[in-house]
Structure formats: C-alpha cells, structure tokens
Structure 1
Amino acid sequence: AALVDYLTGSRRLGAGPGGVGRTVATTRLVDRIAAARGLELLETPVGFPSLGPLLLSGRVCVGVEESAGLGVSAHLPERDGIFACLLLAEMVGATGLPLRALLRNLFARYGTLLSRRVQLPLREESLRALELLRGRQFREFAGLAVTRVEREGGVLLELAGGAWVLWRLSGTEPKVRLYAEAPTTNLLRVLVREAKKTWRKAEEEVRHV
C-alpha cells in the first residue's frame, strides 16, 4: 500500500491513464489510496496472472497482491520482486523516512487497517467445507453486518466499517488460507477467531454427512 501511494503520488505514475489493480486478498488501503487519487480500482481473483492482462492493456498502471507482489505497467506486466525492492529503497530515500514512519503516515491519511493471514491444514473435507460456506447466506459475522459476499475462488465477506474476512484454498500448497482485515487490533483478533471457528464447524459438519 505504501508503494501504491508513492507511485501514484509523488512518483506521478498515476498521472496518465490507468487505474490501480489489486487481488481480492489484498489490503483495502489500496482502495482508499486509489479513491484519493481519483483512480479506478479494479479487484481481481487471487494470483498475479489475473493482474497481468490489466497491466499489459494499460487499464491499470500498478497492480498489487497480498503476498508482496507488485507490477508496474511501464516496467513489466508481471510481479518483479527486485524492482519492488528498488522502488521501496527509492521511496525511503526520496522521503527521508523509515518504513515505520511511512506506515504511520499512511494510516494517518487513509485510516488504519490491520491485516492477518492464517494458514490451516488442508484436510480431506476442506473442499466440501468451502462449498458449504459458499452456499451459506451470511447476514452478519462477528456481530458486524455483511455488506458484500463474493464466492469466486473462495468466500469473501465484506463487513460494516471496512473489515473483511476471506476463506480460500491455496493453489500452491496443501493449505487453507484465512485472511482478515480490520481497523483495530481487537477487532482483527475477533475476526480471526470467529473465522477459524466457522471453518472448523464447516469441516465438522461435512465430515458427518
């Protein structure tokens, strides 16, 4: 998020055509930055291959994913870790601020959002558990109203106040990935706890069908 802010701000990468792309599991700080810059925000499924065509076409000038992947249309339509690290070093040098201070400034301007990813073991019943959650009608979660449900590639619940949770199966290792984001540490802790509990109950339910 800090690099998106830098690239579309003082770096002027967003001065021309093209919005900002992020995967569904990426911090919503990116959305707030794009809105502040007047740039279109495009959400894609998890995985950089979904962002590549948007970068190649110029529809987005920068694309980011949750696992620190970043791509820039003026460079490559693919994530480039070395390039991202160089940009990070440039940002620190240009601003004269350490990363911790840059993050504090980011929260001060766009609001605090704290994220966490938890990995759970993939079990025989995990796919059926995910299908069970896909078919469930969520109206509230952890005491918060559900404002949006997305079922492509997993189950995403967007909640009142900017919080969200996501369950999905990893495409690269035998893991179930649980994501959560919230404006406070306490709420983040509650969301992770409730998301784990919901997942375990779903696995238990399909195990006995």
Structure 2
Amino acid sequence: MTWDILNILGTLAFAISGALIALEEDYDILGVYVLGFTTAFGGGIARNLLIGIPIEDIWSQDSLFKIAFLAITVVFILSNKWIASWKKWVVFFDAIGLAAFAIQGANFALTIDAPLFAVIIAATLTGAGGGMIRDVLAGRKPMIFRSEIYALWAALAGLAIGLDLVRGPYTTFFLLIAIVLFRMLSVYYKWNLPHKFRT
C-alpha cells in the first residue's frame, strides 16, 4: 500500500510539474504530454539503468501511465486563469515528486540488496532525475545543480532508508513530509550548497 501511494503521489506531482513547465514555455499539446511523461517517468528509467533492473519493466506500469495522462490532460484543458494560479505551485508539486520518488527509489534498491551507496544514488536519481530531464528538454539550467538545495534532500532520504532508520508506513510518511518541508524551506529561505568563489 505504501509503495503504491508513493508511486501515485510521485507520478501525479511530476506529471503536473512537467505539464506546467511546458505551458510556461508555450509548448504545443504534444510537447506538454512529452514533458509531463518524461518528468513523471524519467527518474525511474535512470534508476533502472543504474541498478540493473530491466528497463522494459517501466512499461508494466500501465495504471501509472493512465494517471499521468489524466493529470496532464486536466492541466492542459484548465483555463488560463487556473493555470496562472497553479504555476505558483510548481515548486510544491516538484517537492512532492522529489520526496515520493526518492523514498520509492531507495526502497526499490533495497529489494535487490543494493549497498548503501547504491541506495543513496537510486534515491537521488529517482527523485531528481525526472526534474533534471524536464529542465534539459525545456532549455533550462537543471534545478538539481543550481537551485536552492534540491537533490541533497533525496540523497538524505536514501541515506536514512539505507541505514534502516525508516520502518513502516508512519515513519515513511514522516520522511515524505520532512523532505517536502525542507525542500520548501530551502526555496523560501534561499538555502544553497556552497559555490566556488569567483575572483
């Protein structure tokens, strides 16, 4: 049940996030669907490549594809007034996708007895990979490398799960809320990782 909820949450959040970015960039209907699906499933594909899961397994998630299709369609047919207000929530949807998929990616790596480092990388790639691919396709600098602390929260989720600090649905839900909260706080307070000083 927890696994399914994380999958649905992450898919919905990233599909909406990708569609909203596509509309911001004035993409046509095909571009909106491509960017929405890429954001929702790009991280999972990258994770599967990393930890040796057959990449074709991604196509077995037909229910998630339907959920993503429905979410993208709703975003596309909403009036411009609604879209304008939804655009303010892009960071929030992105934070939910980051959290849900980071946890899911780490748990996925644990099912194949991956070492701690691989669990952390799987969490980071699954959580941030879709957003990174989205930004590249949208012609933007990837948020993962420049924005207020982003991928670090996914990596810390992977670390917590890899160290077996997260057990059961309640602690999983708490971790999800914590990642979303810290991601939003890092945006609000403009927390950043160190950059090299320019002389």
Query: Whose RCO is larger (CA < 8 A, sep 6+)?
Result: 2
TM-score of the two chains, using structure 2 as the length reference: 0.25
Higher-helix-fraction structure: 2
Tell which structure's C-alpha radius of gyration is larger: 1
TM-score of the two chains, using structure 1 as the length reference: 0.25
